Copies of this chain bind each other. A is one copy, B any other.
Amino acid sequence: MTTYAGSPGVPVSPVPRDDGIDVAAAAARRVVSALLHVGADGGAPMADIARDLDRIADQLEEHAPERQERVIGMWAGRPRHDPVTGPENALAPPVRLHGLPDGSVTGTVTLGLPYQGPPGCVHGGISALLLDHALGVANSWGPGPDGMTGTLSVRYHRTAPLFEELTIRARQESSEGRRIRTTGEILAGGRVCVSADGIFVAGHVARPVAQDEGGR
């Protein structure tokens, strides 16, 4: 699952694996989506399903370390948990982004019912979420500085459809001192549905470390 056959560019988001937590998260995504595809009146035995899911959550929670320890652990290596590209996060579609030689990043994604806003369309806030993240990845990939979102302006040109392949693109436009400007868009069928213009400020929240490593 680490090949990118036919895909231009270098993977700049975590590549999903076909074992371990990634497969469990992929299965959880199926459950989230299937619940919405069935709905309240679909005749599924929801009480039984809730009990089975709670049992799985119980089983997982037995293995969970103390929360702060876990937050440190998830930032010790390359993060794989974000809500847009994170293979370990069932909220993430996940989007897979590739870095291009021109400094931009791009990827495709097809979104289903969990991401719905207007009927049959992507929720406007979901488009903002995907673009905010893609702009951040573009800042990491491009030659300029990296930073945190200061302002994000999102323009909705037309509704983005569910169940159709969308293309996400982003690139750093300029940087001056600590101020970075980065833009991006979501397209369907070659037409821009949503565009974003972000001002980022160079710098990052420090990664958490264990108390006894505080000095490193």
Contacts and interface: CB of A to CB of B under 8 A. Distances in A.
A123 B82 contact: yes
A113 B59 CA distance: 18
A11 interface: no
Interface string A95-117: 00000000000000000011111
B30 A47 contact: no
Contacts of A75: 119
Nearest to A41: B73
A118 B57 contact: no
B60 A34 contact: yes
A140 B46 CA distance: 31
Specify which of A26, A43, A61, A125 lies most central, judged by the most chain B CB atoms within 10 Å of its CB: A125
Interface of A: 19-21, 23-28, 30-44, 46-47, 49-54, 56-57, 59-65, 67, 70-71, 73-75, 80-84, 88-91, 113-121, 123-126, 128-133, 136, 148-156, 159, 163, 204-208
